[in-house]
């Protein structure tokens, strides 16, 4: 439950606040989500605030001695842990949280996003009250930075009291361990011995192949050459609390460096070895390979599977190899093993020569990158999650206008949508309704949902600006398309209802 209070009373009345039962806060200007990772005993926070034109800041306050701030000053985005002195925010010299993207938050077309994790035992004494609840406070919008460069806290802040976060806001890893079989992107398993092991992944023209070698697992990457400094990552783990990754830094058709990372910093004990002789640039493709130590792949879930995540040319980096936020959400994949992946078997060796199983990306990282000249959301859309069949019924999209009525549904290609008939999308929010199932009690969106919606709506906004339109005028069409994408109205139910609430009618 949100409540506006004078900031000077934050510490005094925290325990009297109503308990916030969901794992997110959302308003027209700010969205905050949080989840608990049992493996690392830490809380992951994501703060997404609407951008302003000039220098501005926003943040989350745990108490007067603890805060996390994201700000833009002189065009440069920054984020830092902080504390309060009077009504002024003072940035800490030493960071007390682990940021997902280093010192720079992500700047989207319409928002600034700060993601970080904080271990439970790293909170200051008194952060949790006698009931074990954590109180967070936040401005609810972005605030201007003063002409003298000071960050001044307003007199009132929104405040939430979060209780039972360990059980009510578990990460995907913890949920699976407790028997909730929520599956994420691109689950791949070997269901019978006639199939070879999963040892390939592809997304468009980018491919990754891996095989076991004496000193670890060797990955061969073939990726499109992009102008500029880009990083590519192959990671093991489901969330920031347990993620270990190999990162390759490329500049055009050259590999500048590889290294091991455990976000938000380099991992000195994770040695990644580049085969310098294996770097090849042919036409518009760059091929290279590196080896990760085998012990990185020992962590499996309760099903005996591990999660791999792939981010090919995922984002840019600074000159000192400072990683910037990924431009496209990395694609996860589950596999029973990586150690059985191998290269071709020599004929006559006596070993079985199976065709490898290739895992293709379930989510297009360039959502809505191609648009028609007639309407912004008429690009190809793909689901942010590929899940096993469940008893949950898919959303039924019923579009009704004053002129006519009809049904909008995804094509048989499994998530791709073609252009909508203009006559069926010309209604305004007051005369159209999208009929979907309401969110189930206790539902929590997948973590990929927020980024999926942000990416897509960002593309819609770009199209609208190019054609002299507004996002509001195109939002109805975007929502009706999103409603027809498999799993979006169910697995991203909260985000979908928040974004499209003016057009939705629950069954």
Name residues whose C-beta falls within 8 Å of residue 209's C-beta, 6 or more positions apart in sequence.
Answer: 199, 200, 219, 220, 341
- Name the residue among 34, 67, 46 with its Cα closest to residue 166: 34
CATH topology of domain 198-360: Immunoglobulin-like (2.60.40)
Q: What does the block give as tokens for 223? A: 């990726």
The pLDDT assigned to 248 comes to 93
The pLDDT assigned to 484 comes to 78
Which architecture, in CATH terms, is 3-170? Sandwich (2.60)
The pLDDT assigned to 473 comes to 78
User: For the residues 442-458, what does the mean pLDDT come to?
Assistant: 77
Say how far apart CA 437 and CA 92 lie, in whole Å: 46
* Main-chain phi, psi angles of 13, to 5 degrees: -115, 10
User: For the residues 139-167, what does the mean pLDDT come to?
Assistant: 86
Residue 250 has pLDDT above 90, yes or no: yes
The pLDDT assigned to 101 comes to 67
Residue 167 has pLDDT above 60, yes or no: yes
- Residue linked to tokens 């990772």: 37
Determine contact, residues 52/144, Cβ cutoff 8 Å: yes
Task: Using pLDDT thresholds of 50, 70 and 90, give the confidence band for residue 327.
Answer: low
The pLDDT assigned to 344 comes to 36
Task: Using pLDDT thresholds of 50, 70 and 90, give the confidence band for residue 145.
Answer: very high
Residue 448 has pLDDT above 90, yes or no: no
The pLDDT assigned to 308 comes to 84
User: For the residues 87-102, what does the mean pLDDT come to?
Assistant: 84
Task: Using pLDDT thresholds of 50, 70 and 90, give the confidence band for residue 394.
Answer: very low
**Which of 67-71, 274-278, 286-290, 403-407 is least confident?**
403-407
Tens of pLDDT, residue by residue over 119-143, are: 888 888 888 888 888 888 888 788 9
Helix (H) or strand (E) holding 10, with range, is helix 10-13
Task: Using pLDDT thresholds of 50, 70 and 90, give the confidence band for residue 461.
Answer: confident
Domains 3-170 and 198-360 share a fold: yes
For residues 473 and 338, the model is more confident at 473
The pLDDT assigned to 249 comes to 93
The pLDDT assigned to 323 comes to 74
How high is the mean pLDDT of the chain? 70
**Which of 14-23, 172-181, 204-213, 279-288 is least confident?**
172-181
Q: What does the block give as tokens for 19? A: 């308990």
The answer to whether the predicted template modeling score (pTM) of the entire model surpasses 0.75 is no
For residues 360 and 504, the model is more confident at 504
Name residues whose C-beta falls within 8 Å of residue 310's C-beta, 6 or more positions apart in sequence.
Answer: 201, 203, 208, 233, 234, 235, 330, 331, 332, 333, 361
Cα-Cα-Cα-Cα dihedral of 174, 179, 181, 187, to 10°? Answer: 70
Q: Is the Cα torsion angle 366, 372, 374, 379 positive or negative in sign?
A: negative
Task: Using pLDDT thresholds of 50, 70 and 90, give the confidence band for residue 289.
Answer: very high
User: For the residues 400-406, what does the mean pLDDT come to?
Assistant: 33
The pLDDT assigned to 94 comes to 84
Task: Using pLDDT thresholds of 50, 70 and 90, give the confidence band for residue 73.
Answer: confident
The pLDDT assigned to 272 comes to 92
Task: Using pLDDT thresholds of 50, 70 and 90, give the confidence band for residue 399.
Answer: very low
Residue spans of the domains in the chain: they are 3-170, 198-360, 398-506
**Which of 17-31, 48-62, 74-88, 406-420 is least confident?**
406-420
The pLDDT assigned to 67 comes to 92
Tens of pLDDT, residue by residue over 334-350, are: 665 555 554 433 333 34
For residues 216 and 383, the model is more confident at 216
The pLDDT assigned to 144 comes to 92
Q: What does the block give as tokens for 124? A: 């200051």
- Name the residue among 60, 65, 57 with its Cα closest to residue 84: 65
For residues 7 and 95, the model is more confident at 95
Residue 417 has pLDDT above 60, yes or no: no
The pLDDT assigned to 302 comes to 52
Local structure of residue 205 (DSSP, 8 states): T
Residue 155 has pLDDT above 60, yes or no: yes
Q: Quote helix, strand, coil % in the chain, to nearest 5.
A: 15, 35, 50
Q: Give percent of the chain above pLDDT 70.
A: 65
Task: Using pLDDT thresholds of 50, 70 and 90, give the confidence band for residue 360.
Answer: very low
Q: What does the block give as tokens for 115? A: 């993601």
The pLDDT assigned to 397 comes to 36
Task: Using pLDDT thresholds of 50, 70 and 90, give the confidence band for residue 177.
Answer: very low
User: For the residues 226-246, what does the mean pLDDT come to?
Assistant: 82
Task: Using pLDDT thresholds of 50, 70 and 90, give the confidence band for residue 240.
Answer: low
Q: What does the block give as tokens for 443? A: 């539902």
């Amino acid at each position: 439950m949100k409540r506006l209070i004078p900031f000077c009373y934050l510490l005094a009345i925290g325990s009297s606040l109503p308990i916030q039962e969901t794992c997110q806060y959302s308003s027209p200007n700010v969205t905050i989500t949080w989840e608990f990772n049992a493996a690392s005993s830490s809380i992951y926070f994501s703060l997404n605030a609407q951008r302003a034109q000039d220098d501005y800041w926003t943040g989350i306050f745990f108490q007067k001695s603890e805060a996390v701030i994201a700000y833009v000053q002189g065009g440069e985005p920054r984020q830092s842990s902080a504390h309060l002195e009077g009504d002024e925010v003072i940035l800490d010299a030493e960071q007390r949280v682990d940021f997902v993207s280093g010192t720079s938050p992500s700047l989207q077309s319409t928002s600034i996003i700060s993601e970080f994790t904080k271990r439970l035992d790293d909170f200051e004494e008194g952060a949790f009250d006698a009931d074990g609840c954590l109180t967070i406070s936040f401005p609810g919008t972005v605030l201007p930075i003063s002409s003298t460069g000071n960050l001044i806290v307003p007199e009132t802040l929104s405040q939430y009291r979060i209780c039972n976060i360990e059980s009510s806001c578990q990460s995907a890893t913890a949920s699976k361990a407790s028997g909730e079989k929520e599956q994420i992107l691109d689950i791949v398993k070997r269901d019978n011995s006639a199939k070879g092991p999963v040892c390939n992944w592809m997304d468009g023209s980018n491919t990754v192949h891996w095989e076991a070698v004496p000193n670890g697992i060797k990955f061969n990457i073939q990726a499109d050459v992009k102008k500029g400094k880009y990083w590519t990552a192959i990671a093991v783990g489901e969330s920031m609390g347990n993620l270990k990754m190999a990162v390759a830094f490329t500049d055009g058709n050259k590999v500048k460096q590889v290294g091991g990372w455990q976000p938000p910093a380099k991992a000195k004990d994770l040695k990644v070895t580049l085969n310098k002789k294996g770097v090849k640039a042919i036409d518009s493709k760059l091929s290279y390979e590196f080896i990760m130590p085998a012990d990185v792949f020992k962590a499996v879930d309760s099903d005996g599977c591990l999660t791999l995540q792939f981010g090919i040319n995922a984002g840019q980096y600074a000159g000192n190899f400072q990683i910037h936020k990924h431009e496209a959400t990395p694609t996860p994949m589950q596999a029973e093993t990586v150690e059985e992946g191998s290269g071709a078997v020599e004929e006559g060796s006596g070993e079985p020569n199976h065709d490898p199983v290739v895992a293709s990306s379930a989510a297009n990282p360039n959502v809505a990158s191609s648009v028609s000249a007639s309407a912004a959301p008429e690009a190809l859309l793909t689901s942010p999650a590929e899940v096993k069949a469940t008893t949950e019924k898919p959303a039924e999209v019923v579009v009704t206008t004053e002129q006519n009525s009809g049904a909008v549904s995804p094509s048989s290609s499994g998530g791709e949508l073609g252009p909508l008939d203009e006559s069926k999308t010309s209604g305004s929010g007051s005369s159209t309704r999208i009929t979907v199932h309401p969110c189930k009690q206790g539902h929590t969106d997948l973590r990929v949902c927020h980024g999926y919606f942000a990416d897509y709506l960002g593309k819609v906004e770009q199209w609208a600006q190019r054609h002299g339109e507004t996002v509001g005028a195109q939002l109805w069409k975007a929502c009706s398309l999103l409603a027809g994408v498999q799993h979006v109205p169910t697995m991203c139910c909260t985000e979908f209802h928040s974004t499209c609430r003016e057009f939705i009618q629950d069954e």
